[in-house]
Amino acid sequence: MMLLMAAVLMLTAACSKDDDDEQPVNPPAAAGARLQVMMVFAPGQLGDNGYADGVLMGASSMELPEALGDATDTIDVQFISLYSVSDTRQALKDWAATAVHPFYDAAYERRLLVLTEPYQTAWLADVKSYLRETDEVLIMKADEAYAQQVAGTYGLGSRVHSLNFDMSEAIGLYCDNIRVTIHDEEYADLLQGKKPEVVIFRRFNAQQNYYCDGMEDIIRQKLGDEVTVTVKALTDYAAHDNESEEANVSYIQTAYEAAAQFDLYFEEAGYGFVVADLGMCNAGILNYMMGSPLFNYEVVMIDNDPYTNGYTAICRNGHYAIIHWINGWMNQPAGAMPRFTMYDSSNVTHSLSQVD
């Protein structure tokens, strides 16, 4: 107690010395970050080292000084990745209702909610009443029209944004690979004079998820009447009405069975091509390929890290895109970021050796 009193007296003396001179005033240390980013992932969305994992890696690195660039604020990055959709939606609602820093008795001045898949925007119905005028929403893999629709539906105006990826270069390379293959004499015999088929195999159907990557348009533009384009959905093969982890395991099994069905189908129809956009459930096709090398169709994986040989893989890397976007958001007032941002991050992760 005597030491404490002595310290107080010394401080008092120091402050009272030369009272007439203006003393520099040091502002108190900030009580935690003023800005917060909350990223929401669906059950089973993380773990394939593809798009979602890259987005999480990029956002998490925003807490490092070297990623902040010219930003003057510090930032807290948190994420939700739970077992079921119901748990995820409840956690999101709890977050939206509490804008106070978990360790400091101070509210965040601004918050950014990042929805990593377009279908998650339906969950805004749970939280729209809790979002403040300074809180904003970023929808990944969505275009300007979709963001505009969401903004109007939930009354969020200019505080809804979208960040998408340009897949045209990577898908275009795959189309070049298809053209080389189907004009090869060896495969012409397999086709038996039939038009080759390209199947775009999605995780969800168009009613369940909004796809705006332009993949189908690019394939039709590049290959025209040379191929038949068919779109199928994994949910057409599996009877699951939720996105729990258990359902995700079942979807992986369903993808395995679908890979086998494609093999039988193309054995009869002639050589074909499959563009698999299944996220983590691409593991089902990979498991099939490990045990049964594909001879009847070539598959390209979207948003998947290739760890087997003998196929082509394309991966969207959201790492740098999300860093750049959040950095811009930190340096502008609420609602000032563009409604829509396109980032060219498509890249081929397995050599297309047949492309000239």
Residues 32-90 pLDDT 10s: 578 999 999 988 888 877 788 888 998 888 876 655 555 556 789 999 999 888 999 99
Cα gap 161→166, rounded to integer Å: 17
Q: For the residues 244-264, what does the mean pLDDT come to? A: 87
Do the Cβ atoms of 30 and 76 come closer than 8 Å?
no
Extents of the domains making up the chain: 35-166+318-346, 168-315
Of 236-240, 311-315, 320-324, give the lowest mean pLDDT range.
311-315
Tokens of 221: 């533009």
Radius of gyration (C-alpha) of the chain in whole angstroms: 26
Residue 220 is classified by DSSP as H
The answer, as to whether pTM is greater than 0.85, is: no
Query: Considering the domain 35-166+318-346, what is its CATH architecture?
Result: 3-Layer(aba) Sandwich (3.40)
Question: Given strand 75-81, what is the order of strands in its sheet?
Answer: 75-81, 35-41, 110-115, 135-140, 160-165, 340-343
Question: Given strand 272-277, what is the order of strands in its sheet?
Answer: 228-233, 197-202, 272-277, 297-302, 312-316, 346-348
Q: Which residues pair with 41 in a beta bridge?
A: 81
Residues 153-212 pLDDT 10s: 999 999 999 999 887 878 888 898 899 888 888 887 878 778 899 999 998 888 888 898
Query: Considering the domain 168-315, what is its CATH architecture?
Result: 3-Layer(aba) Sandwich (3.40)
Cα gap 41→28, rounded to integer Å: 36
Nearest to 52 by CA among 274, 277, 210: 277
Nearest to 304 by CA among 319, 328, 287, 283: 283
Please give the share of the chain, as a percent, with pLDDT higher than 90.
Answer: 40
Domains 35-166+318-346 and 168-315 share a fold: yes
